[in-house]
Amino acid sequence: MASQKRSAEEAESLLVGIRSIIVDIEGTTTPISFVKDKLFPYVTENLEKWLQSNFDNAEVQKSISALRDQATKEKDEQVENVVLIPCGDASKDDVVKAVCDNVKCQMDADRKTTELKTLQGLIWKDAYESKQVKGELFEDVAPMLKMLAEEGFQLYVYSSGSIEAQKLLFANSSHGDLTEVFSGYFSLNIGSKTDSASYKKIACEIGHEAKEILFLTDMPSEAEAAVTAGMRSALLIRPGNAELTDENLQKFACIERFDELYGDEDDEDDIKRFAGDNGEAEDDEDDDDDDEGDEDDDDGEAEENEGGGC
């Protein structure tokens, strides 16, 4: 895969004109392995015992009712592999078993329904509060979030997890409580992360023009939706993330660490293929008829080929 880099000075332009920054969680601030190998298994391993212990809790009953209504609705719509949950007149054990089957079925299918995320959030809350789980962040995330907040950027989270789960992760992170750096949180309640309408709604709620908002994610489909809504977006290249295509690398700004948002004049190799601002990169002004060497010409062509995805 050919490297298509731009200078550290040009890389700094990613934050020029930006007032708000929205971060995804999984694969962006937090290793995918933490979610896949710790958070999700914690739910499946402790679900039945947790339901038995918390069955009469009002929030738990509300969550069970939501899962029940969801399953009934999907059954009527002839959705495949729906696990129904019996009504309140059924025995506690029958309800618990059905909820366990329903939740595990949804998780096996990697579904991201609001009903599922709400129950997961309740379980993770107990896990965080009992110190059985601590939110994992990439080492560059906490110091950069603090720096960005101190410099006046408004920071937000947009994740498929519930808002409660988002707050829990950052409140109980491996770098301490970071919730004070965020101005707000968004979940799938506002819409799908691959729908441009969701980002337009977020821009309205934030109160800034879309072009003043930068969205950081590991998913090209999410970055595309944000850019379609008028935002700027950058893709994170993190350990464990899916490999990006040549098209992804050319279309979007791609960084490995949050501190690369500012560029790095001391180590230009750390800058990853920054795209232009909603347009093609400018041609080299000094690319005249004089042939000083193939290197200058090659650099001009590489810059010209970088698309403006954000």
pLDDT at 235: 97
- 176: DSSP letter: B
Distance from C-alpha of 210 to C-alpha of 192, rounded to nearest angstrom: 17
Instruction: Please list the pLDDT of the chain residue by residue as tens digits (310 residues).
Output: 333 333 334 445 689 899 999 999 999 999 999 999 999 999 999 999 999 999 999 999 999 999 999 999 999 999 999 999 999 789 999 999 999 999 999 999 999 899 999 999 999 999 999 999 999 999 999 999 999 999 999 999 999 988 999 999 999 999 999 999 999 999 999 999 999 999 999 999 999 999 999 999 999 999 999 999 999 999 999 999 999 999 999 999 999 999 999 865 443 443 333 333 343 333 444 444 444 444 444 444 333 333 333 2
SS3 32: helix
Distance from C-alpha of 305 to C-alpha of 275, rounded to nearest angstrom: 10
pLDDT at 283: 43
pLDDT at 13: 65
pLDDT at 263: 64
The predicted-structure confidence for 66-79, as pLDDT tens digits, reads as follows: 999 999 999 999 99
Distance from C-alpha of 221 to C-alpha of 208, rounded to nearest angstrom: 23
Buried b (16+ CB within 10 A) or exposed e, 203-233: beebebebbbbbbbbbbbebbbbbbebbbbb
pLDDT at 72: 96
The predicted-structure confidence for 271-305, as pLDDT tens digits, reads as follows: 333 333 343 333 444 444 444 444 444 444 333 33
Prediction pTM value: 0.76
